[in-house]
Structure 1
């Protein structure tokens, strides 16, 4: 039986094309949702862009009929703007204040009551990304769902970038001697290009090896940069060794790193970037950027020039650079960076419209980027550049993103079959014993 889906504002602001995601059912947009969308369309961020996109989409539907009536969609469903069910009579004894959320609930509740009176009444489902709105809906007997169509993966099945395989000791020795093995001789399991294999002895000895699948996906080969020291930093665990391999390989233009706080993502990426630009000269400049999304309450406008305004947001980057340059005195790092001239620390706000050739680009905290923002960044990458995206999908500060629909997860899943990209999930924290316990327990 067909259903009626009532959409909350946050669904449209998260995905303007969500109105086409409900198959052949009826989509209802309460009038108060249009008011909320209208109040956001002047924002200069992703929410404002989506609000403007929603406005254009709904305006284009007017060509097919009147919005307060049912307008057919290409997927077989219909859409309409609900103008009449704003009566608070059913909910006035439960929710005293006529907030926008409660007005949306009232629309859905009144529609549900109407359908219940019909002989073949349809189910009315409120779709919202707001947890408390779904809780309120359940409390008044309404069906409520989260909007899940924007999720890249359904569950915690994000690609890790590595697999464990077991071989006999003779095959392990042959791998060490020849430097490669045909994947067909190991297992029938499908592999992705640049995927790592942790090869262990099937009889349980301590013998093991680490290999990487070649671009053709037919051979596993030894690492090019196994146990490589970069700017005084050595990998402390097997996943960090994988990360170093990806960060230093010229033929891998896109690297994605995910992991909890303290797993070494930023430090390894900066060390690799400095080595590739300053020592090897493979790139002209090292560009480091991160999105400006505050943790907790925003501190408001900051005084000073652009560099002074950016410093608080970019401090985690500078902390790692101070460690790599072994600076002791205040202002010493700034003097070093000014003298080198090949390191640029920037906010992502200033990347739009740029073309960035021959640079080693590091984007930190990429889990706070939307799919559209991550596309904007990747399309800025010019010839001869390498880009590293990293972050922790479990630590998201963006109001409309989660571990399953953020830009970093999106790139990991969409690029895992491409020969120019590599990915690894860092597991073990190396910052300190306390930091690892905090990441695991809190």
Structure 2
């Protein structure tokens, strides 16, 4: 039996293609949803772009048939703009105020009542990204669901970590140290590795032998870490995952690196140290460009006084904190003098790098978990020839209203590029900031 799905505004504002995600079922868009989308279409951000895209979709459907009567979609289902079930009478005794959310609930409730009166009517399901709307629906006896089709992984714990622990015979570990690599296609106790994936080998009999190797780009060899004990700009890896991260960050043959992990695991510090080494010491790249999305309580930074650099400073302060540590500055203002003298380090908001072509640069995008799939695609397609880009963040700390740990841009890139030779990924697990910081990250 086909179903009737009533869509909340936030579903369409997050993913305009959600219209095509319900197969051969009927999709209902309440009239109030059109009003909310219309109010967002002038926004100059991702939500505004999605609102305009939804508007274009609906306009193209309008040319095929009347939306209030229903339009047949390519998926075999139908889409309908609902005008006849807006009565608020049934909602009045439960939620008296006619807010937009309650008006959407009223449409779904009235359609459900109509279907139930038919005897063998179809199930009605309200689809919303708003948890409180789903709670209200449940209180009204409506079946409600989150929109999950945009999720890259169903659970964050299933996200590709970039490394695995593998029990092996001690002979494998010994051969690895003797030869500097192992052939994975001949008798290795596991198959199906990803390019640049890290393997922590441990003695399967419980012995003390262990080793860390990296899968070659072609997936045939497990190789030793080339940067295993290097100290870079005074920074030395403190744990296994940081050693893996350094291996990827310092390898200019891997132009895309993604790092995930809780606060304090060293993502930003390691990336900056590696970037400075490759630019100032090895002269591989011409410039270090550091950027992060501006997602405070409000996205606009125009209300702050001063020039662009002064406006950016509060949002970029975490970057400057790490640079002060790397340059070992003692006094206020010393870092600004160093950066002005070097000229090879540029700190920007993502607002100012969109639309640019960026060749021969080491690019660090911090807090990438606050990027949408479209935004991260826009950034990656601007990377010029000879550049390297590092995307990092904590998918469990998201400030964007329509993103979560399973559908954000960083998660999207990690999963999409895990089998590509040009990309590498590591999930950092152990906090190195302080004992208190690690404890807070674990229990709060």
**Aligning the two structures, in what range does the TM-score lie when normalised by the shorter sequence?**
over 0.9
CA contact (8 A) 2:301 2:311 kept: no
In the other structure, the counterpart of 1:166 is 167
The CA RMSD measured in Å over matched residues stands at 1.1
CA contact (8 A) 2:368 2:391 kept: yes
**Distance (Å, rounded) in 1 between the aligned partners of 2:31 and 2:172:** 68
Q: Secondary structure at the match of 1:262?
A: coil
The range that moved more, 167-176 or 80-89, is: 167-176
Give per-residue Cα distances to partners, 1:257-310, cap 9 Å, x unaligned.
000000000000000000010111000000000000015898871010000000
**Distance (Å, rounded) in 2 between the aligned partners of 1:258 and 1:29:** 37
Aligned length: 442
TM-score of the aligned structures, taking structure 2 as reference length:
0.98
The range that moved more, 1-10 or 188-197, is: 188-197
In the other structure, the counterpart of 1:396 is 398
Pick closer, same or farther for the CA change 1:233–1:295 going to 2, 3 Å: farther
**Distance (Å, rounded) in 2 between the aligned partners of 1:297 and 1:250:** 34
- 1:430 maps to which of 404, 429, 432: 432
Unaligned runs of 5+ in 2: none
- 2:251 maps to which of 249, 252, 255: 249
Give the C-alpha shift of residue 165 in structure 1: 1.4
Pick closer, same or farther for the CA change 1:300–1:91 going to 2, 3 Å: farther
Please give the residue correspondences for 1:125-140 in structure 2 after superposition, counting only pairs within 5 Å. Answer: 125-140=125-140
In the other structure, the counterpart of 1:366 is 368
Give per-residue Cα distances to partners, 1:75-96, cap 9 Å, x unaligned.
0000010012111110111111
Give per-residue Cα distances to partners, 1:90-128, cap 9 Å, x unaligned.
011111110000000000000000000113200110000
Q: Secondary structure at the match of 1:362?
A: strand
Pick closer, same or farther for the CA change 1:176–1:367 going to 2, 3 Å: same
Q: Secondary structure at the match of 1:90?
A: helix
The range that moved more, 221-230 or 259-268, is: 221-230
Q: Secondary structure at the match of 2:212?
A: strand
Unaligned runs of 5+ in 1: none
Give per-residue Cα distances to partners, 1:14-68, cap 9 Å, x unaligned.
0001011000000000000000000000000000000000000000001210010
CA contact (8 A) 2:11 2:128 kept: yes
- 1:379 maps to which of 381, 397, 415: 381
Give the C-alpha shift of residue 171 in structure 1: 2.2
Q: Secondary structure at the match of 1:439?
A: helix
Give the C-alpha shift of residue 170 in structure 1: 2.4
Runs of 4+ in 1 over 6 A off after TM superposition: 296-300
Give the C-alpha shift of residue 199 in structure 1: 1.0
Give the C-alpha shift of residue 196 in structure 1: 0.3
CA contact (8 A) 2:364 2:391 kept: yes
In the other structure, the counterpart of 1:236 is 238
Give the C-alpha shift of residue 224 in structure 1: 1.1
In the other structure, the counterpart of 2:303 is 301
In the other structure, the counterpart of 1:45 is 45
Q: Secondary structure at the match of 1:91?
A: helix
Q: Secondary structure at the match of 2:276?
A: helix
CA contact (8 A) 2:14 2:402 kept: yes
Give the C-alpha shift of residue 352 in structure 1: 1.4
